[in-house]
Amino acid sequence: MMNKKTDVLIIGAGLSGLLAAAKAVESGKGVTVAAKGMGSLSLSSGCIDLWGYDIDDPQRVCQNPLAQIARLNEVNPEHPYTKVADVLEESLRYFQGLTERYGCPYRDNGGANWLLPTALGTFRPSFLAPPSMALRDLDKAKRIVIVGYEELKDFYPEVMASNLARNGNLPESVKLTVVKLRSAWKKLYATTLAHRLEQAEGIREAVEQIKAHIVDGTVVLFPPVLGERLDIDVTGQLAKALGAPVYEVANIPPALPGQRLQQLLLKHLRNAGVDVIIGCTFTGAKVEGNRCLQVTAEGAGKTFTFSAKTYILATGAFVGGGLDSRIGEAREVIFNLPVRTAEKWASGEFLSMNGHGFNRFGIAVNDRLQPLDREGRVCLENVRITGANLAGANGPIEKCGNGIAVASGYKAGKLAGEVAQ
Ligand SMILES: Cc1cc2nc3c(=O)[nH]c(=O)nc-3n(C[C@H](O)[C@H](O)[C@H](O)COP(=O)(O)OP(=O)(O)OC[C@H]3O[C@@H](n4cnc5c(N)ncnc54)[C@H](O)[C@@H]3O)c2cc1C
Protein backbone atom coordinates (compact mmCIF):
# COMPACT_ATOMS: atom_id res chain seq x y z
CA MET A 1 0.00 0.00 0.00
CA MET A 2 1.38 3.43 -0.95
CA ASN A 3 2.17 5.80 1.92
CA LYS A 4 2.60 9.52 1.34
CA LYS A 5 4.48 11.62 3.88
CA THR A 6 3.94 15.34 4.30
CA ASP A 7 4.35 17.89 7.11
CA VAL A 8 0.80 19.21 6.99
CA LEU A 9 -2.10 17.21 5.58
CA ILE A 10 -5.30 19.14 4.98
CA ILE A 11 -8.33 16.94 4.44
CA GLY A 12 -10.90 18.97 2.50
CA ALA A 13 -10.67 21.49 -0.34
CA GLY A 14 -13.39 23.95 0.67
CA LEU A 15 -12.66 27.52 1.71
CA SER A 16 -11.27 26.61 5.15
CA GLY A 17 -8.98 23.89 3.78
CA LEU A 18 -7.65 26.03 0.93
CA LEU A 19 -6.95 28.95 3.24
CA ALA A 20 -5.27 26.69 5.79
CA ALA A 21 -2.98 25.44 3.02
CA ALA A 22 -2.15 28.97 1.84
CA LYS A 23 -1.14 30.01 5.33
CA ALA A 24 0.69 26.79 6.31
CA VAL A 25 2.88 26.70 3.21
CA GLU A 26 4.32 30.13 4.10
CA SER A 27 6.22 28.43 6.93
CA GLY A 28 8.27 26.44 4.40
CA LYS A 29 6.67 23.13 5.38
CA GLY A 30 5.46 20.53 2.91
CA VAL A 31 1.69 20.90 2.56
CA THR A 32 -0.80 18.56 0.90
CA VAL A 33 -4.52 19.16 0.40
CA ALA A 34 -6.47 15.99 -0.30
CA ALA A 35 -10.23 15.78 -0.72
CA LYS A 36 -12.96 13.75 -2.30
CA GLY A 37 -14.51 16.83 -4.00
CA MET A 38 -14.34 20.60 -4.21
CA GLY A 39 -16.50 21.75 -1.29
CA SER A 40 -19.31 24.26 -1.07
CA LEU A 41 -17.40 27.33 -2.26
CA SER A 42 -18.53 26.81 -5.83
CA LEU A 43 -22.14 26.73 -4.61
CA SER A 44 -21.91 29.81 -2.42
CA SER A 45 -22.37 33.43 -3.49
CA GLY A 46 -18.61 33.96 -3.37
CA CYS A 47 -19.09 36.62 -0.69
CA ILE A 48 -17.58 36.35 2.77
CA ASP A 49 -20.41 36.65 5.27
CA LEU A 50 -19.13 37.46 8.74
CA TRP A 51 -22.18 38.26 10.85
CA GLY A 52 -25.47 39.25 9.31
CA TYR A 53 -27.98 40.31 11.92
CA ASP A 54 -28.07 42.07 15.25
CA ILE A 55 -27.68 39.76 18.26
CA ASP A 56 -30.40 41.60 20.22
CA ASP A 57 -32.75 42.12 17.28
CA PRO A 58 -32.32 39.38 14.63
CA GLN A 59 -34.66 41.25 12.25
CA ARG A 60 -32.18 44.10 12.00
CA VAL A 61 -29.12 43.99 9.77
CA CYS A 62 -25.97 44.25 11.82
CA GLN A 63 -24.01 47.42 11.14
CA ASN A 64 -20.75 46.48 12.80
CA PRO A 65 -20.10 42.72 12.51
CA LEU A 66 -16.75 42.80 14.34
CA ALA A 67 -18.30 44.52 17.37
CA GLN A 68 -21.13 41.94 17.43
CA ILE A 69 -18.68 39.06 17.21
CA ALA A 70 -16.70 40.52 20.10
CA ARG A 71 -19.87 40.12 22.21
CA LEU A 72 -20.05 36.37 21.60
CA ASN A 73 -17.61 35.69 24.44
CA GLU A 74 -20.33 36.85 26.76
CA VAL A 75 -23.55 35.77 24.99
CA ASN A 76 -22.44 32.52 23.29
CA PRO A 77 -18.98 31.44 24.53
CA GLU A 78 -19.14 28.14 22.62
CA HIS A 79 -19.41 29.88 19.26
CA PRO A 80 -16.50 29.09 16.86
CA TYR A 81 -15.68 32.79 16.57
CA THR A 82 -14.62 32.79 20.24
CA LYS A 83 -11.87 30.26 19.31
CA VAL A 84 -10.49 32.40 16.49
CA ALA A 85 -11.06 35.89 17.89
CA ASP A 86 -7.28 36.48 18.17
CA VAL A 87 -6.79 36.17 14.39
CA LEU A 88 -10.14 37.24 12.98
CA GLU A 89 -9.16 40.65 11.63
CA GLU A 90 -5.69 39.42 10.63
CA SER A 91 -7.27 36.57 8.66
CA LEU A 92 -9.63 38.91 6.80
CA ARG A 93 -6.75 41.21 5.83
CA TYR A 94 -4.77 38.16 4.71
CA PHE A 95 -7.68 36.98 2.57
CA GLN A 96 -8.10 40.43 1.01
CA GLY A 97 -4.36 40.62 0.29
CA LEU A 98 -4.44 37.23 -1.42
CA THR A 99 -7.40 38.13 -3.62
CA GLU A 100 -5.79 41.45 -4.53
CA ARG A 101 -2.62 39.66 -5.63
CA TYR A 102 -4.65 37.70 -8.20
CA GLY A 103 -6.56 40.69 -9.58
CA CYS A 104 -9.85 40.14 -7.76
CA PRO A 105 -9.53 42.37 -4.67
CA TYR A 106 -12.34 41.57 -2.25
CA ARG A 107 -13.79 44.81 -0.91
CA ASP A 108 -14.97 45.71 2.57
CA ASN A 109 -17.49 48.42 3.31
CA GLY A 110 -15.41 50.30 5.86
CA GLY A 111 -16.22 47.89 8.72
CA ALA A 112 -19.99 47.77 8.01
CA ASN A 113 -21.85 45.04 6.15
CA TRP A 114 -22.54 45.51 2.48
CA LEU A 115 -26.21 45.25 1.61
CA LEU A 116 -26.05 43.41 -1.67
CA PRO A 117 -29.06 43.03 -3.98
CA THR A 118 -30.15 39.48 -4.66
CA ALA A 119 -31.94 37.88 -7.60
CA LEU A 120 -35.11 37.97 -5.50
CA GLY A 121 -34.96 41.73 -5.12
CA THR A 122 -34.02 41.55 -1.44
CA PHE A 123 -30.77 42.77 0.11
CA ARG A 124 -28.32 40.45 1.84
CA PRO A 125 -25.71 41.51 4.41
CA SER A 126 -22.16 40.44 3.65
CA PHE A 127 -18.76 41.62 4.89
CA LEU A 128 -16.42 41.10 1.92
CA ALA A 129 -17.53 41.03 -1.69
CA PRO A 130 -15.68 40.54 -4.99
CA PRO A 131 -15.41 43.71 -7.11
CA SER A 132 -18.14 42.47 -9.47
CA MET A 133 -20.65 42.43 -6.57
CA ALA A 134 -19.47 45.20 -4.22
CA LEU A 135 -22.25 47.63 -5.05
CA ARG A 136 -22.63 50.68 -2.87
CA ASP A 137 -25.41 53.29 -2.95
CA LEU A 138 -27.87 51.58 -5.28
CA ASP A 139 -30.46 54.03 -3.95
CA LYS A 140 -28.49 56.91 -5.52
CA ALA A 141 -28.87 55.50 -9.04
CA LYS A 142 -31.26 57.29 -11.40
CA ARG A 143 -32.05 54.14 -13.32
CA ILE A 144 -31.44 50.48 -12.57
CA VAL A 145 -31.35 48.20 -15.58
CA ILE A 146 -31.88 44.55 -14.65
CA VAL A 147 -30.65 42.26 -17.38
CA GLY A 148 -32.07 38.78 -17.85
CA TYR A 149 -32.11 36.26 -20.67
CA GLU A 150 -35.28 34.75 -22.13
CA GLU A 151 -33.71 31.30 -22.11
CA LEU A 152 -32.05 31.44 -18.66
CA LYS A 153 -34.22 29.52 -16.23
CA ASP A 154 -32.38 30.47 -13.04
CA PHE A 155 -33.06 34.21 -13.03
CA TYR A 156 -36.32 36.13 -13.36
CA PRO A 157 -35.56 39.84 -13.73
CA GLU A 158 -39.26 40.81 -13.47
CA VAL A 159 -39.45 39.18 -10.01
CA MET A 160 -36.32 40.99 -8.92
CA ALA A 161 -37.63 44.33 -10.23
CA SER A 162 -41.05 44.02 -8.62
CA ASN A 163 -39.60 43.03 -5.22
CA LEU A 164 -37.02 45.82 -5.38
CA ALA A 165 -39.82 48.28 -6.07
CA ARG A 166 -41.96 46.86 -3.26
CA ASN A 167 -39.49 46.46 -0.43
CA GLY A 168 -39.10 50.19 0.16
CA ASN A 169 -35.30 50.34 0.10
CA LEU A 170 -35.20 52.47 -3.04
CA PRO A 171 -36.57 55.99 -3.52
CA GLU A 172 -39.55 56.17 -5.88
CA SER A 173 -37.53 58.36 -8.23
CA VAL A 174 -35.31 55.40 -9.17
CA LYS A 175 -36.53 53.98 -12.47
CA LEU A 176 -36.38 50.20 -12.78
CA THR A 177 -36.03 48.76 -16.27
CA VAL A 178 -36.02 45.07 -17.15
CA VAL A 179 -34.15 44.12 -20.31
CA LYS A 180 -34.54 40.55 -21.51
CA LEU A 181 -31.86 39.55 -23.94
CA ARG A 182 -32.18 36.88 -26.58
CA SER A 183 -29.60 34.24 -27.20
CA ALA A 184 -29.18 31.53 -29.82
CA TRP A 185 -29.92 28.74 -27.28
CA LYS A 186 -33.26 27.09 -26.47
CA LYS A 187 -32.23 26.61 -22.87
CA LEU A 188 -29.43 28.55 -21.26
CA TYR A 189 -27.36 27.59 -18.22
CA ALA A 190 -25.31 30.02 -16.12
CA THR A 191 -22.05 28.35 -17.17
CA THR A 192 -22.90 28.38 -20.91
CA LEU A 193 -23.71 32.05 -20.67
CA ALA A 194 -20.55 32.77 -18.72
CA HIS A 195 -18.49 31.16 -21.52
CA ARG A 196 -20.34 33.15 -24.16
CA LEU A 197 -19.69 36.42 -22.33
CA GLU A 198 -15.98 35.64 -22.16
CA GLN A 199 -15.92 36.07 -25.94
CA ALA A 200 -16.00 39.40 -27.76
CA GLU A 201 -19.11 38.27 -29.64
CA GLY A 202 -20.99 37.55 -26.43
CA ILE A 203 -20.19 41.02 -25.08
CA ARG A 204 -21.19 42.64 -28.38
CA GLU A 205 -24.57 40.83 -28.45
CA ALA A 206 -25.33 41.93 -24.89
CA VAL A 207 -24.21 45.53 -25.38
CA GLU A 208 -26.24 45.93 -28.59
CA GLN A 209 -29.42 44.97 -26.75
CA ILE A 210 -28.81 46.96 -23.55
CA LYS A 211 -27.22 50.15 -24.85
CA ALA A 212 -30.50 51.95 -25.69
CA HIS A 213 -31.61 51.74 -22.05
CA ILE A 214 -28.58 53.52 -20.59
CA VAL A 215 -29.00 57.11 -19.45
CA ASP A 216 -26.80 59.18 -17.18
CA GLY A 217 -26.82 57.67 -13.65
CA THR A 218 -27.69 54.10 -14.74
CA VAL A 219 -26.49 51.02 -12.84
CA VAL A 220 -26.71 47.72 -14.72
CA LEU A 221 -27.38 44.50 -12.77
CA PHE A 222 -26.71 41.05 -14.19
CA PRO A 223 -27.23 37.58 -12.72
CA PRO A 224 -23.89 36.14 -11.52
CA VAL A 225 -22.83 34.93 -14.96
CA LEU A 226 -20.12 37.40 -15.88
CA GLY A 227 -17.43 34.93 -16.84
CA GLU A 228 -16.16 31.70 -15.42
CA ARG A 229 -12.48 32.47 -15.70
CA LEU A 230 -10.59 34.59 -13.26
CA ASP A 231 -8.35 36.14 -15.89
CA ILE A 232 -11.11 37.58 -18.11
CA ASP A 233 -12.76 40.72 -16.73
CA VAL A 234 -16.23 40.43 -18.27
CA THR A 235 -17.72 42.94 -15.80
CA GLY A 236 -15.09 45.56 -16.71
CA GLN A 237 -15.54 44.98 -20.45
CA LEU A 238 -19.32 45.34 -20.24
CA ALA A 239 -19.05 48.48 -18.08
CA LYS A 240 -16.63 50.06 -20.55
CA ALA A 241 -18.74 49.21 -23.59
CA LEU A 242 -21.98 50.38 -21.94
CA GLY A 243 -20.51 53.49 -20.30
CA ALA A 244 -22.24 52.53 -17.02
CA PRO A 245 -21.27 50.56 -13.90
CA VAL A 246 -22.14 46.86 -14.11
CA TYR A 247 -22.59 44.44 -11.18
CA GLU A 248 -23.57 40.84 -10.54
CA VAL A 249 -26.29 40.06 -8.01
CA ALA A 250 -26.33 37.02 -5.72
CA ASN A 251 -28.39 34.10 -7.00
CA ILE A 252 -28.97 30.40 -6.39
CA PRO A 253 -26.14 27.92 -7.20
CA PRO A 254 -24.15 27.44 -9.29
CA ALA A 255 -22.62 30.79 -8.45
CA LEU A 256 -19.81 31.81 -10.73
CA PRO A 257 -18.27 34.30 -8.25
CA GLY A 258 -17.76 31.39 -5.80
CA GLN A 259 -16.16 29.33 -8.57
CA ARG A 260 -13.83 32.20 -9.45
CA LEU A 261 -12.71 32.46 -5.83
CA GLN A 262 -12.05 28.72 -5.78
CA GLN A 263 -9.94 29.07 -8.95
CA LEU A 264 -8.02 31.95 -7.41
CA LEU A 265 -7.14 29.97 -4.30
CA LEU A 266 -6.17 26.87 -6.27
CA LYS A 267 -3.96 28.94 -8.54
CA HIS A 268 -2.25 30.44 -5.51
CA LEU A 269 -1.68 27.01 -3.96
CA ARG A 270 -0.18 25.69 -7.20
CA ASN A 271 2.17 28.70 -7.36
CA ALA A 272 3.14 28.20 -3.71
CA GLY A 273 4.01 24.52 -4.23
CA VAL A 274 1.09 22.90 -2.38
CA ASP A 275 0.19 19.42 -3.55
CA VAL A 276 -3.58 19.31 -4.24
CA ILE A 277 -5.18 15.90 -4.75
CA ILE A 278 -8.88 15.69 -5.57
CA GLY A 279 -10.76 12.41 -5.74
CA CYS A 280 -9.63 10.64 -2.58
CA THR A 281 -12.00 9.81 0.23
CA PHE A 282 -10.57 9.37 3.71
CA THR A 283 -12.08 6.55 5.67
CA GLY A 284 -10.11 6.05 8.87
CA ALA A 285 -7.14 6.93 11.05
CA LYS A 286 -4.45 5.15 13.03
CA VAL A 287 -4.13 6.72 16.45
CA GLU A 288 -1.68 6.13 19.30
CA GLY A 289 -2.38 7.82 22.62
CA ASN A 290 -3.62 11.25 21.68
CA ARG A 291 -1.70 11.54 18.39
CA CYS A 292 -2.79 10.58 14.91
CA LEU A 293 -0.05 8.60 13.11
CA GLN A 294 -1.69 7.97 9.77
CA VAL A 295 -4.91 8.35 7.82
CA THR A 296 -6.30 6.00 5.19
CA ALA A 297 -7.86 7.07 1.92
CA GLU A 298 -9.41 5.49 -1.15
CA GLY A 299 -9.29 6.82 -4.67
CA ALA A 300 -8.87 5.59 -8.26
CA GLY A 301 -9.60 2.05 -7.06
CA LYS A 302 -6.66 2.05 -4.63
CA THR A 303 -6.22 2.32 -0.88
CA PHE A 304 -3.36 4.44 0.38
CA THR A 305 -2.16 6.13 3.54
CA PHE A 306 -0.88 9.57 4.47
CA SER A 307 1.36 10.42 7.45
CA ALA A 308 1.82 13.98 8.62
CA LYS A 309 2.93 16.00 11.62
CA THR A 310 -0.31 18.01 11.60
CA TYR A 311 -3.69 16.99 10.20
CA ILE A 312 -6.27 19.68 9.47
CA LEU A 313 -9.81 18.37 9.31
CA ALA A 314 -11.63 20.68 6.88
CA THR A 315 -14.33 18.25 5.80
CA GLY A 316 -17.34 20.59 5.97
CA ALA A 317 -19.73 18.90 8.46
CA PHE A 318 -22.91 17.35 7.00
CA VAL A 319 -22.91 19.30 3.71
CA GLY A 320 -19.24 18.62 2.96
CA GLY A 321 -19.41 14.99 4.10
CA GLY A 322 -17.22 15.19 7.22
CA LEU A 323 -20.13 14.37 9.53
CA ASP A 324 -22.68 11.66 9.02
CA SER A 325 -25.86 10.81 10.89
CA ARG A 326 -28.35 8.11 11.67
CA ILE A 327 -31.52 8.65 13.63
CA GLY A 328 -30.47 10.13 16.96
CA GLU A 329 -26.74 9.82 16.30
CA ALA A 330 -24.15 11.97 14.52
CA ARG A 331 -20.57 10.87 13.84
CA GLU A 332 -17.35 12.26 12.46
CA VAL A 333 -16.32 9.91 9.66
CA ILE A 334 -12.50 9.78 9.71
CA PHE A 335 -11.25 10.02 13.33
CA ASN A 336 -14.53 9.10 15.01
CA LEU A 337 -14.32 12.33 17.03
CA PRO A 338 -17.19 13.13 19.38
CA VAL A 339 -19.84 15.33 17.75
CA ARG A 340 -21.58 17.88 19.92
CA THR A 341 -25.31 17.61 19.23
CA ALA A 342 -28.47 18.86 20.92
CA GLU A 343 -31.65 17.21 22.03
CA LYS A 344 -33.70 18.93 19.35
CA TRP A 345 -32.26 18.25 15.89
CA ALA A 346 -34.78 20.11 13.79
CA SER A 347 -37.39 22.80 14.15
CA GLY A 348 -40.97 21.94 13.23
CA GLU A 349 -40.84 24.65 10.56
CA PHE A 350 -38.62 24.02 7.56
CA LEU A 351 -37.83 27.73 7.09
CA SER A 352 -37.66 28.52 10.79
CA MET A 353 -36.25 31.97 11.63
CA ASN A 354 -34.10 30.27 14.29
CA GLY A 355 -32.71 27.62 11.96
CA HIS A 356 -32.38 23.99 13.00
CA GLY A 357 -30.53 22.34 15.89
CA PHE A 358 -28.33 20.36 13.50
CA ASN A 359 -26.90 23.59 12.08
CA ARG A 360 -24.96 23.91 15.34
CA PHE A 361 -23.73 20.31 15.47
CA GLY A 362 -20.01 19.84 15.12
CA ILE A 363 -16.76 19.17 16.89
CA ALA A 364 -15.98 21.06 20.10
CA VAL A 365 -12.46 22.54 20.13
CA ASN A 366 -10.14 24.53 22.36
CA ASP A 367 -8.62 27.83 21.25
CA ARG A 368 -5.86 25.96 19.36
CA LEU A 369 -8.62 24.30 17.32
CA GLN A 370 -7.77 20.86 18.76
CA PRO A 371 -10.74 18.49 19.13
CA LEU A 372 -12.12 17.91 22.63
CA ASP A 373 -13.79 14.87 24.15
CA ARG A 374 -17.00 15.11 26.17
CA GLU A 375 -15.02 15.93 29.32
CA GLY A 376 -13.27 18.82 27.58
CA ARG A 377 -9.88 17.06 27.17
CA VAL A 378 -7.89 17.26 23.94
CA CYS A 379 -8.44 13.95 22.13
CA LEU A 380 -5.95 14.37 19.27
CA GLU A 381 -3.28 16.95 19.82
CA ASN A 382 -1.90 16.97 16.25
CA VAL A 383 -5.33 17.42 14.62
CA ARG A 384 -6.98 20.84 14.07
CA ILE A 385 -10.60 21.39 13.10
CA THR A 386 -11.82 24.13 10.75
CA GLY A 387 -14.83 25.65 9.01
CA ALA A 388 -18.27 24.11 9.09
CA ASN A 389 -16.96 21.21 11.21
CA LEU A 390 -16.75 23.50 14.25
CA ALA A 391 -19.60 23.13 16.75
CA GLY A 392 -21.77 26.01 17.84
CA ALA A 393 -22.48 28.22 14.79
CA ASN A 394 -25.84 28.63 13.14
CA GLY A 395 -24.43 29.54 9.72
CA PRO A 396 -27.58 30.00 7.61
CA ILE A 397 -29.21 32.22 10.25
CA GLU A 398 -26.19 34.10 11.60
CA LYS A 399 -24.72 34.50 8.08
CA CYS A 400 -21.22 33.54 9.15
CA GLY A 401 -20.26 30.40 7.17
CA ASN A 402 -17.44 31.75 5.02
CA GLY A 403 -16.25 34.11 7.79
CA ILE A 404 -15.66 31.15 10.11
CA ALA A 405 -14.02 29.23 7.25
CA VAL A 406 -11.57 32.08 6.57
CA ALA A 407 -10.64 32.70 10.21
CA SER A 408 -10.37 29.06 11.30
CA GLY A 409 -8.54 27.97 8.11
CA TYR A 410 -6.06 30.78 8.57
CA LYS A 411 -5.51 29.96 12.24
CA ALA A 412 -5.12 26.22 11.68
CA GLY A 413 -2.61 26.89 8.88
CA LYS A 414 -0.68 29.32 11.05
CA LEU A 415 -0.54 26.88 13.99
CA ALA A 416 0.53 24.05 11.69
CA GLY A 417 3.35 26.26 10.40
CA GLU A 418 4.61 26.77 13.96
CA VAL A 419 5.01 23.04 14.71
CA ALA A 420 8.72 22.14 15.10
CA GLN A 421 10.21 20.28 12.10
C1 LIG B 1 -25.38 26.18 -1.23
C2 LIG B 1 -24.55 26.91 -0.21
C3 LIG B 1 -24.44 28.30 -0.30
C4 LIG B 1 -23.69 29.00 0.65
N5 LIG B 1 -23.57 30.36 0.53
C6 LIG B 1 -22.78 31.06 1.39
C7 LIG B 1 -22.57 32.45 1.21
O8 LIG B 1 -23.06 33.05 0.27
N9 LIG B 1 -21.78 33.10 2.11
C10 LIG B 1 -21.18 32.45 3.16
O11 LIG B 1 -20.47 33.10 3.95
N12 LIG B 1 -21.36 31.12 3.34
C13 LIG B 1 -22.14 30.42 2.48
N14 LIG B 1 -22.32 29.07 2.64
C15 LIG B 1 -21.65 28.39 3.77
C16 LIG B 1 -20.20 28.20 3.45
O17 LIG B 1 -20.04 27.81 2.09
C18 LIG B 1 -19.57 27.15 4.33
O19 LIG B 1 -19.89 27.38 5.67
C20 LIG B 1 -18.06 27.13 4.23
O21 LIG B 1 -17.60 27.42 2.95
C22 LIG B 1 -17.59 25.77 4.66
O23 LIG B 1 -16.27 25.56 4.23
P24 LIG B 1 -15.49 24.27 4.71
O25 LIG B 1 -14.11 24.42 4.21
O26 LIG B 1 -15.69 24.09 6.17
O27 LIG B 1 -16.24 23.02 4.05
P28 LIG B 1 -16.68 22.62 2.57
O29 LIG B 1 -16.65 23.77 1.64
O30 LIG B 1 -17.97 21.89 2.70
O31 LIG B 1 -15.55 21.60 2.10
C32 LIG B 1 -15.47 20.31 2.62
C33 LIG B 1 -14.38 19.56 1.88
O34 LIG B 1 -14.11 18.32 2.54
C35 LIG B 1 -14.13 17.26 1.59
N36 LIG B 1 -14.45 16.02 2.31
C37 LIG B 1 -15.51 15.77 3.13
N38 LIG B 1 -15.42 14.52 3.64
C39 LIG B 1 -14.29 13.98 3.14
C40 LIG B 1 -13.64 12.72 3.26
N41 LIG B 1 -14.13 11.74 4.03
N42 LIG B 1 -12.49 12.50 2.57
C43 LIG B 1 -11.96 13.46 1.77
N44 LIG B 1 -12.53 14.68 1.61
C45 LIG B 1 -13.68 14.93 2.29
C46 LIG B 1 -15.15 17.72 0.57
O47 LIG B 1 -15.03 17.01 -0.64
C48 LIG B 1 -14.72 19.19 0.45
O49 LIG B 1 -13.59 19.33 -0.37
C50 LIG B 1 -23.06 28.32 1.72
C51 LIG B 1 -23.16 26.92 1.81
C52 LIG B 1 -23.90 26.23 0.86
C53 LIG B 1 -23.99 24.73 0.97
Q: For residue range 77-110, what is the model confidence (pLDDT) as tens digits?
A: 999 999 999 999 999 999 999 999 999 999 999 9
Does the structure show a pLDDT above 90 at 281?
Answer: yes
**Is the distance from CB of 383 to CB of 340 less than 8 angstroms?**
no
**Is the distance from CB of 52 to CB of 113 less than 8 angstroms?**
yes
Q: What is the pLDDT of residues 364-373, one digit of tens each?
A: 999 999 999 9
Least confident of 49-53, 109-113, 187-191, 311-315: 187-191
User: What is the atom index within ligand 1 of the atom nearest the CA of 400?
Assistant: 11
Other CB atoms closer than 10 Å to residue 335's CB: what's the count?
Answer: 22
Does the structure show a pLDDT above 80 at 15?
Answer: yes
**Is the distance from CB of 136 to CB of 114 less than 8 angstroms?**
yes
The pLDDT, as a whole number, for residue 252 is 83
Q: Which residue minimizes the CA distance to atom 48 of ligand 1?
A: 39
CA distances from 95 to 18, 355, 407 (A): 11, 28, 9
Rounded to 5, what percent of the chain is helix, strand, coil? 35, 25, 40
The model's confidence at residue 272, banded by pLDDT at 50, 70 and 90, is very high
Q: Which of 122, 256, 402, 404 to mutate to test the pocket of ligand 1 (most atoms within 8 A of CB)?
A: 402
Q: Which of 15, 16, 43, 44 to mutate to test the pocket of ligand 1 (most atoms within 8 A of CB)?
A: 44
The pLDDT, as a whole number, for residue 328 is 80
Rounded to whole angstroms, the Cα distance separating 55 from 69 reads: 9
Taking the centre of ligand 1 as the mean of its atom positions, its distance from the CA of residue 360, in whole angstroms, is 15
Taking the centre of ligand 1 as the mean of its atom positions, its distance from the CA of residue 386, in whole angstroms, is 11
Does the structure show a pLDDT above 80 at 339?
Answer: yes
